[in-house]
Chain A
Amino acid sequence: MDAYTIVWSDMMMLRRRFAKYLLTTLLSPLLYLMAFGYGLGRGISVNGTSYLEFVVPGIIALTAMTTSFNGAGTRLNTDRLFFKSFDECLMAPISPISLLTGKAMIGVYRGLVSSIAFLLVAMLIAPRLDISLLFALSLIFTCLLFSFLGVFAALLAGTHEDMATFSSLILLPMTFLGGTFFSLSQVPIALKTALYLLPLTHCSICLRAAALGDSFPWASLLAMAGFLLLFSLGSMAALKRLSV
């Protein structure tokens, strides 16, 4: 219930500028779709699938990652360091778990809104995508784990620049290397092993397998659960560190 209260305040804010939010959040994935799907990938097929259909689940993973991370992390960073309104939550009689869950759910909510909006547009272009329960599960897991990563980063950050640095060093490389725009079967084994260390790789693999009707990579879903656990425990430790 307390977690919902925290999400409620964000929903009230988002309600006022929903159209603007949708427009800005959809711009980047649509540009990726045009550049990679229509531009670069026209006429290319990957493992027997058109590149356009191949790349859409990757862009969904990417959209979910960016909007969830920013929705939870950047907002929390601003509330904590600039507006100082996070102190109000810390002084309220709610448990740390509810507080962190609430802050992360803001990212999940925003991530789902953006991903679903992009998916609706993408379905017009690639109507053969299979939107199954496994797809929904993978999408929710993606939003959850990157929301908690955002919360973790925001609680660790000492300045706004720290947050920007984190995005540049962690999120940006993942954007292009996390199995979003290419198949991991095409890269050398050493690089492939390294790419499996990126959470977005597993998100892309799961979303793509579910959307294209391939056999579902349960090991990747397990890896996502592992990352989720890691980031949520990290957030809890970072929150405790704040009151020292």
Chain B
Amino acid sequence: MNSAVEIIALTKEYSGKRVIDGLSLQVQEGEVFGFLGPNGAGKSTAIRILTTLTKPTAGRAMINGFDVVKEPYRVKSLFGVVQQHLSLNRELTVKENLDFHARLHHLSKSERCRRIDELLDFVDMSEQADQLIDKISGGMKRRTMIARALIHRPKLLFLDEPTVGLDAQSRRRVWDLIRGMNSEGSTVFLTTHYIDEAEALCHRAGIIHQGRSMAIGSPEELRRRLGTIAVESKQEGRTSYRYFPDREAASRFVLETKAAADGVVIRQSSLEDVFIELTGRRVAEE
């Protein structure tokens, strides 16, 4: 299988401060890859480098084998981006925003019309086609951004916090769209603060902290490395966590330490546990 994204010893410094520190990773074609890390971990900078907006200080980044620094024009037609912030033109309609993006990607008039109709249907927004961006809901804006990112049939999609600020229903709708895009052949590179989102969507996840890769693997694999069973015990108002390969080992620990039954929870570990152990922070605290 070919690499959709390949990052080799990538480093980025701003005014002498190292934001990315020798980061290396690969994303295979057809994967949904979750890129997780606390604020300031270097996720956005890595995405800015991959999308040609910023140049690296050292190292290489490639998309479908093309170097993002040496061949930026070739690379730009290979990916689509849904940014975290609303980057639509608010004074244009939904359809005009898609049309503008299609023109920037040199689609012919007939192709533009066909693609816009297809994508409006895909994101279930045909009825809102002629509404100004300012007049539609947050969820619809996000769906418009997804449609826009897909207009030129990119092989790779960067989704930067695609569900941030959305209500539960809109969030699930976006999840369905991401699964739909992936099943149609797009590779998805997803950054998210919601670990459950990564767990639900990603084939593999990479955890980045202080510009360095801490772990890469499938959510199941990462949980196995940590221990699939978690024991939470409350002592003096603080909760401590221990991880075990199986339930027997966890139960033995509880019996041996004579922890009070009402203060102990034995449960399946999650990707969030992996994240916290590796980065030393709670995602929710950020």
Contacts and interface: CB of A to CB of B under 8 A. Distances in A.
A92 B52 contact: no
Given A2-B104, A87-B87, A92-B105, A12 B96 contact: yes
A91 B81 contact: yes
B20 to A, nearest CB: 15
A89 interface: yes
A240 to B, nearest CB: 10
Nearest to B54: A243
A88 B52 contact: no
Given A8-B100, A92-B104, A13 B53 contact: no
Nearest to A85: B87
Given A8-B100, A8-B103, A91 B85 contact: no
Interface in B246-285: none
B64 interface: no
Contact of A243 (B53, B73, B106): B53
A93 B92 contact: no
B173 interface: no
Contacts of B81: 88, 91
Contacts of B104: 2, 5, 88-89, 92-94
Interface string B57-85: 00000000000000001001101010101
Given A12-B96, A243-B54, A93 B106 contact: yes
B108 to A, nearest CB: 12
Contacts of A244: 54-55
Nearest to B91: A13
Given A90-B53, A91-B76, A91-B81, A83 B103 contact: no
Contacts of A83: 86-87, 89-90
A95 B103 CA distance: 14
Contacts of B53: 87, 90-91, 243
A229 B77 CA distance: 31
A84 interface: yes
A16 interface: yes
A93 B87 contact: no
B51 interface: yes
Size bin of chain A's contact surface: 20 to 34
Nearest to B88: A85
B77 A13 contact: no
A9 interface: yes
A83 to B, nearest CB: 7
Nearest to B132: A16
Of residues A8, A16, A84, A243, which shows the largest number of chain B Cβ atoms within 10 Å of its Cβ? A243
A168 B85 CA distance: 31
A88 B106 contact: no
Interface string B104-117: 11100000000000
B33 to A, nearest CB: 19
Contacts of B77: 93
A80 B99 CA distance: 20
B153 interface: no
A88 B101 contact: yes
A51 B129 CA distance: 53
A13 B88 CA distance: 13
Chain A CB within 10 A, most for which of B52, B77, B104: B104
A63 B87 CA distance: 31
B106 to A, nearest CB: 7
Contacts of A84: 83, 85, 87
A5 B103 contact: yes
A98 B259 CA distance: 69
Interface in A1-60: 2, 5, 8-9, 12-13, 16
Given A83-B87, A89-B104, A9 B96 contact: yes
A94 B92 CA distance: 21
Contacts of B55: 243-244
A112 B55 CA distance: 37
Nearest to B75: A93
A144 to B, nearest CB: 23
A107 to B, nearest CB: 17
Contact of B51 (A12, A91, A95): A91
Contacts of A8: 100, 103
Contacts of A87: 53, 83, 87
Interface of B: 51-55, 73, 76-77, 79, 81, 83, 85-92, 96, 100-101, 103-106
Interface of A: 2, 5, 8-9, 12-13, 16, 83-85, 87-95, 243-244
Q: What 3 pairs between A and B have smallest CB-CB spacing?
A: A92-B104, A93-B76, A5-B103
13 contacts: A5-B100, A5-B104, A13-B89, A83-B90, A88-B81, A88-B101, A90-B52, A91-B52, A92-B104, A94-B104, A95-B73, A243-B53, A244-B55
